[in-house]
Amino acid sequence: MERTMARESSRAALEVFDPCGALDTTQTHAPRLDTLAGKTVCEISNASWEDKRTFGRVRELLQKRFPDLKVIPLTEFPSGSRYIDVDNIGELVKAKGCHAAIVGNAG
């Protein structure tokens, strides 16, 4: 009987929360542009896996499809997750006159 009591006294009480909590989301993404023609696009990089090569290729393909597209390259912005001020990057993108941004890179 003493063994049973010892086990009971060493039990811990756990409180478990449901990780599937609901969020009220009214808009999941920014409104989409109807076209990139004549627009300005910013490149925001997380400085991962050959970002200069991949962003350069995406830029080349977009400008081929939309010749009047202006691209502000990733070199004009802070890069790397340590250096990007996520709370204010939107203001920086707006200040550069961007209509859209290409964000991130495979890593």
Domain with 80 in it: what CATH number? 3.40.50
If one counts every other C-beta atom within 10 angstroms of the C-beta of residue 18, the result is 6
pTM: 0.65
Q: Tell me, yes or no, whether 55 lies in a domain.
A: yes
| Alpha carbon distance 2, 23 (integer Å) | 49
Residue 107, CA atoms < 13 Å, CB-side half-sphere = 11
State how many domains the chain has.
1
* Rounded-to-integer distance, Cα 98 and Cα 44, Å: 11
Within-domain flag for 29? no
pLDDT at 3 (0 to 100):
53
| Residue 51 counted as domain residue | yes
- Reported confidence tier of residue 75, pLDDT bands at 50, 70, 90: confident
Range of the domain at 104: 35-107
Residue 9, in any domain of the structure: no
Which tokens is 12 given?
Answer: 């811990």
Q: Which residue has the higher pLDDT, 59 or 24?
A: 59
- 102 closest CA partner among 48, 55, 36: 55
Please indicate, yes or no, if residue 60 is contained in any of the structural domains.
yes
